[in-house]
């Protein structure tokens, strides 16, 4: 991966730019931040470039931070989504240009489409989506086709940048179908995805077999299993890598509550624990984009700063792991529930359906 590094980043100027709604220039963008600021009557934004990676196989350039939407962007019909729209705006204002969603994420896909319609940078965003079901029987494509057409309407795009086989369900049917869509110009890239470490060997086999442009997997300073086979396989074949669970669904943040950042975090300009963890993942040379979801606009503003300033080198990454291993509870993250203490924040369609199922079975 080619990694575009910025220099002379001024964090105070960056935060000020976000506060006024000014837009930073994304690394792969064709727009001028200064020209847009003049057109909107705002002062020119910083011209510092957001960090990007270019994928060798396809020459596609993406920002190193993407916006995830699972649970965080799921809301019930009629609920206030203003805070989610602000998350979306601040992510884009910070230079981010990758959004990952799915029809399985409750109303998240609908929210993404609504927010895309409200931002002038919509055409610059790289949208990653997913396919789950295939049909009534083995080889039946009807469900996948219907899902794809629904996604195109929800996000209002004729061509979707990346379609991924969701959790590699029925991959032998879904992947060839997406390859056909790619040849027909309906999508640009084909990918596979899963969020569990146990699926990484299967993902690696699909990468090694060829035919996919992207792979998405879980990877964090806590769960480093992707380093064993999957990340090397993707690097060897020039395949783009999207990372999910970089903060372990807020479990990493819970573990470090009350702990100060180590002094050495200043060496790679991590001002918060979120930036500490995100930069650790971004620094792996095989990683293209780290997907991080939030429903909190201030957290979105914090996260985008991980795209600026230096990244830790390999000795520093090892030091970061060693430091985390001294923090009580770090080794037990895998046994913690997702989003600890935040259940009340994520009561959208997914949580409502899960609660209904539990009530019907008395569990």
Tens of pLDDT, residue by residue over 224-261, are 999 999 999 999 999 999 999 999 999 999 999 999 99
Q: Is the pLDDT of residue 340 over 60?
A: yes
- Average pLDDT (30-49) is 34
- Average pLDDT (113-128) is 96
pLDDT bracket for residue 304 (50, 70, 90): very high
Instruction: Give the span between the Cα atoms of 257 and 297, in whole angstroms.
Output: 20
Q: Which residue in the block uniquely carries the two structure tokens 């999957």?
A: 230
Domain presence at residue 93 = yes
How many residues can be counted in the chain? Answer: 363
Cβ contact 268:312 at 8 Å: yes
Cα 41 to Cα 21, 34, 45, 74, 221, distances in angstroms: 11, 10, 12, 34, 42
- For residue 270, what is the domain's CATH number? 3.20.20.100
Domain presence at residue 1 = no
Q: What is the DSSP letter of 305?
A: G
Domain presence at residue 4 = no
Domain presence at residue 122 = yes
215: which residues sit within 8 A by CB, 6+ positions away?
191, 192, 193, 203, 206, 207, 230, 234, 239, 240, 241, 242
Q: Is the pLDDT of residue 39 over 70?
A: no
Q: Is the pLDDT of residue 47 over 70?
A: no
End-to-end CA distance of the chain: 48
Domain presence at residue 14 = no
Query: How many other C-beta atoms can be found within 10 angstroms of the C-beta atom of residue 227?
Result: 13
Tokens representing residue 343 in the block: 């259940």
Virtual CA dihedral for 139, 142, 147, 149, nearest 10 degrees? 130
Across 1-5, 30-34, 266-270, least confident range: 30-34
Cβ contact 187:178 at 8 Å: yes
Cα 274 from chain centroid (whole Å): 14
Percent of the chain past pLDDT 90, that is, above it, reads 75
Q: Is the pLDDT of residue 14 over 50?
A: no
- Average pLDDT (77-105) is 96
Q: What is the pLDDT of residue 80?
A: 93
Q: Is the pLDDT of residue 15 over 50?
A: no
pLDDT bracket for residue 352 (50, 70, 90): confident
Q: What is the pLDDT of residue 363?
A: 74
Q: What is the pLDDT of residue 310?
A: 97
Reduced to 3 states, what is the DSSP secondary structure of residue 242?
strand
Cβ contact 101:109 at 8 Å: yes
Burial class (CB in 10 A: 0-12, 13-18, 19+), 188: middle
The domain tally of the chain equals: 1
pLDDT bracket for residue 133 (50, 70, 90): confident
Domain that holds residue 104: 56-361
pLDDT tens readout for residues 182-197: 999 999 999 999 999 9
Q: Which residue has the higher pLDDT, 303 or 132?
A: 303
Q: Is the pLDDT of residue 345 over 50?
A: yes
- Residue-averaged pLDDT of the chain: 87
Q: What is the pLDDT of residue 29?
A: 32
Tell how strand 289-292 and strand 240-244 pair up: parallel
Cα 182 to Cα 142, 173, 191, distances in angstroms: 18, 15, 11
Tell how strand 126-131 and strand 160-166 pair up: parallel
Cα 338 from chain centroid (whole Å): 17
Q: Is the pLDDT of residue 131 over 50?
A: yes
Domain presence at residue 7 = no
Domain presence at residue 30 = no
- pTM of the predicted protein model: 0.86
Domain presence at residue 27 = no
């Amino acid at each position: 991966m080619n990694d575009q590094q910025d220099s002379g980043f001024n964090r105070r100027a960056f935060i000020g730019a976000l506060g006024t709604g000014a837009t930073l220039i994304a690394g792969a963008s064709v727009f001028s931040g200064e020209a847009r600021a003049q057109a909107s009557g705002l002062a020119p934004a910083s011209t510092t470039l957001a960090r990007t990676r270019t994928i060798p196989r396809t020459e596609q350039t993406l920002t190193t931070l993407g916006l995830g939407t699972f649970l965080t962007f799921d809301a019930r019909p009629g609920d206030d989504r203003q805070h989610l729209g602000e998350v979306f705006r601040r992510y884009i204002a910070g230079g981010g240009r990758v959004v990952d969603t799915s029809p399985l994420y409750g109303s998240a896909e609908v929210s993404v489409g609504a927010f895309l319609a409200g931002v002038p940078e919509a055409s610059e965003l790289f949208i990653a989506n997913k396919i789950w079901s295939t049909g009534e029987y083995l080889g039946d494509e009807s469900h996948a086709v219907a899902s794809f057409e629904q996604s195109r309407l929800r996000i209002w795009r004729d061509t979707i940048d990346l379609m991924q086989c969701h959790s590699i369900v029925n991959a032998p049917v879904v992947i060839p179908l997406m390859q056909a869509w790619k040849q027909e110009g309906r999508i640009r890239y084909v990918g596979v995805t899963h969020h569990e470490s146990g699926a990484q060997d299967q993902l690696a086999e699909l990468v090694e077999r060829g035919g996919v442009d992207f792979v998405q997997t879980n990877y964090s300073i806590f769960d480093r299993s992707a380093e064993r086979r999957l990340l090397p396989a993707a690097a060897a074949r020039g395949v783009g890598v999207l990372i999910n669970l970089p903060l372990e669904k807020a479990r990493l943040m819970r573990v470090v509550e009350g702990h100060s950042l180590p002094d050495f975090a200043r060496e790679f300009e991590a001002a918060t624990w979120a930036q500490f963890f995100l930069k650790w993942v971004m620094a792996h040379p095989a990683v293209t984009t780290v997907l991080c979801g939030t429903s909190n606009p201030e957290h979105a503003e914090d996260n985008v700063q991980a795209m600026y300033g230096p990244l830790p080198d390999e000795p520093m990454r090892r030091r970061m792991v060693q430091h985390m291993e001294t923090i009580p509870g770090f080794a037990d993250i895998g046994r913690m529930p997702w989003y600890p203490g935040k259940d009340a924040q994520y009561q959208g369609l997914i949580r409502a359906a899960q609660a209904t199922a539990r009530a019907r079975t008395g569990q």
